[in-house]
Amino acid sequence: MSNATHWWWIRHAPVTCNDGRIYGQTDHPADCSETAPFKGLAQLLPQDALWITSNLRRTRDTMEAVAPYRSSPLPVAEVVASFAEQHFGDWQGLRHDELRTRPEREAHRFWLAPAATCPPGGESFVDLMNRVSAAITDLSRQHSGRHIVVFAHGGTIRAALALALGLDPERALGFTIENCSLTRIEHWAEGETGPESWRVVTTNHDPRGYANGVKQF
């Protein structure tokens, strides 16, 4: 029998100190003053699901901003540190123009550095992909057939898409993941030892258009 595990990924709301600095795993709060995304997410997200945040405050703030617009109380969320954003080490706290002057920094069109580049004291995007993939694989097995809602980060969601599509790290960096956007992927498996596959349902979906009501999943 085939079971689909439905993953609902939401990138956190913008951070309150979004002044062009690199924040990575710096634990800033989220700016949840715009209500439309949270009203829309409350309509779109499934009622019966396992809810997860990373260990960073901005994901918890975003999750809690959905609560006033749901028809039922928020479930107790599980905290999964493996779903945190990439750690940029010594680059965290720098402005982007300051980073460009660093001798160890390589340019990248869509990200702070090529996927295999490890910032001093931090981790590479490849490292991020490895920890995110391991956590997704484990949770898909533990909660086979369920809906799993995760409030996470742009890098984390790119890593999840790379796992689903079998992409190499550099290609995964090409995805755009906006704040408060919804990305859905499904894990399909036949029993505990049978073949498995992934399906991408939507990426970077803007929930604002659903703020006035839509049938819930």
DSSP code string of 20-36: SB--TT--PPB-----H
- Sole residue written with tokens 């703030």: 61
Q: With 50 as the cut, is the pLDDT of residue 202 above it?
A: yes
pLDDT in tens, 80-113: 999 999 999 999 998 888 888 887 777 787 788 8
Whats the size of the chain, residue-wise?
Answer: 217
Which residues are CB-neighbours of 190 under 8 A, at least 6 positions away? 1, 2, 3, 196
- The SS3 call for residue 197 is strand
From CA 97, how far away is CA 100, in angstroms rounded?
Answer: 5
Closest CA to 8 of 38, 35, 63, 46: 46
Q: With 90 as the cut, is the pLDDT of residue 146 above it?
A: yes
Confidence of residue 191 (pLDDT cuts 50, 70, 90): low
Most distant CA pair in the chain, distance: 56
Residue type, position 2, single letter: S
From CA 70, how far away is CA 39, in angstroms rounded?
Answer: 8
Confidence of residue 1 (pLDDT cuts 50, 70, 90): very low
